[in-house]
Amino acid sequence: MKIRSIKLPRQLDKTLYERAESRGVSSSAVMREALAAYLGDTIPRRPNEPMSVAEMAADLMGCVTGPSNLASGVAHMAGYGQSRPVKR
């Protein structure tokens, strides 16, 4: 990938950072998406070039909400794997 350096007004930089943080992606990813949308994604994909998992799941990113600490939050695992009586 080519590296570009740009200057942003303070408010635009703040908005960029907030958008990236809320989506859990890098600010570079947000800028790439914005540029692709603005330019009409005019860069053709090479034949046989595989898509990344991020590209394949782009429409799904950020569509689910829930606890952010599932890996380290022990309270979320309370009772996991224990059988529960079946209600009839």
Which CATH topology does 1-43 take? Arc Repressor Mutant (1.10.1220)
Q: How far apart are CA 1 and CA 31, in angstroms?
A: 14
- Give the orientation angle of helix 10-23 with respect to helix 27-39, to 10 degrees: 100
Residue pLDDT, tens place only, 10-27: 999 999 999 999 988 899
CB 20 within 8 A of CB 29: yes
Name the pTM for this structure: 0.46
What is the model's pLDDT at position 17?
A: 94
Measured in residues, the chain has a length of 88
Domain ranges across the chain: 1-43
